[in-house]
Copies of this chain bind each other. A is one copy, B any other.
Amino acid sequence: MTTQQLHEQILQKKSFLCVGLDPDLNKIPQHLLETEDPIFEFNKTIIDATHDLTVGYKPNTAFFEAYGIKGWVSLQKTISYINEKFPEIFTIADAKRGDIGNTSSMYAKAFFEDLNFDSVTVAPYMGKDSVEPFLAFENKHTIMLALTSNEGAFDFQTLETNGKELYKQVLETSKTWKNSHNLMYVVGATKAEYFTEIRKIVPDSFLLVPGIGAQGGSLSEVCKYGMNDKVGLLVNSARAIIYASNGTDFAEKAREEALKVQQEMKEIINSKF
Contacts and interface: CB of A to CB of B under 8 A. Distances in A.
Which of A107, A125, A126, A161 has the most chain B CB atoms closer than 10 A to its own CB? A125
Contacts of A86: none
Interface stretch (A3-11, A37-45, A69-77): A69-77
A127 B157 contact: yes
Nearest to A60: B103
Interface stretch (A47-55, A109-117, A220-228): A109-117
Nearest to A173: B155
Contact-residue size bin, chain A (C-beta under 8 Å from the other chain): 35 or more
B159 A162 contact: yes
A150 B110 CA distance: 21
A128 B153 CA distance: 8
A68 B72 contact: yes
A107 B68 contact: no
A129 B115 CA distance: 29
B150 A130 contact: yes
Interface string A145-173: 10011111111110111100010011001
A123 interface: yes
Interface stretch (A92-100, A195-203, A244-252, A253-261): A92-100
Contact of A126 (B150, B169, B173): B150
Contact of A148 (B66, B76, B100): B100
Nearest to A162: B159
A145 B162 contact: no
A161 B170 CA distance: 14
Contact of A115 (B62, B68, B98, B127): B68
Given A152-B129, A161-B160, A68 B114 contact: yes
A118 interface: no
Contacts of A173: 155-156
A211 B75 CA distance: 33
Interface in A125-140: 125-131
A106 B156 CA distance: 23
A148 B123 CA distance: 14
6 contacts: A69-B72, A123-B123, A127-B152, A128-B152, A129-B150, A130-B152
For the complex of A and B, the 4 pairs showing the least CB-CB separation, nearest first, are: A127-B152, A127-B155, A62-B106, A65-B110
